[in-house]
Structure 1
């Protein structure tokens, strides 16, 4: 750490993972997905590709609204792996050059309820 002149600091609140998750978001902002209305799958924000959280992930049943992932894997479906839950505001903070404000804000609007027919 001395060679790059970084002063190591400990986290004053070890239970607060926001700084770590925000740093991951800054590195992998292009791999971001938003939960779809059906709550069964996700859509990548930039390419609007339908993906699912891999069943081996600890977030598989949690369904976070926004997630950043490391790996996209194709098996029977397209799965995202190494997933971290993020706050959508972080995308505008760390990647305003990549995402448009209206693309993120539109996701917050209330969508009409989907009705399943038999």
Structure 2
């Protein structure tokens, strides 16, 4: 089963002078155990995609699901994302994770 399935996501931003296509029929899947990196130059839609996947922005069309289920408020309560400026640079990754687990009252599971 795919952990994340994204199908034909589209997002356009319009102002009175022009339309900017941020996402144009984006489709991909992430399987259990895979790590996904979203890279590209400035302005190609990386942040727009992440905002849609985390419920901060609605797509114009397309759909996505997590663990085979359509997204609901309950899904978002169990979902986390950290943008690049969210880390404390003086702490190790482990201590950053422990800190955020404590802030959000979540059990920190030691990774092997």
TM-score of the alignment, normalized to the shorter chain, above 0.5: no
Structure with bigger RCO (C-alpha 8 Å, 6+ apart): 2
Structure with bigger helix share is 2
TM-score by length of 1: 0.29
Structure with bigger strand share is 2
TM-score by length of 2: 0.30
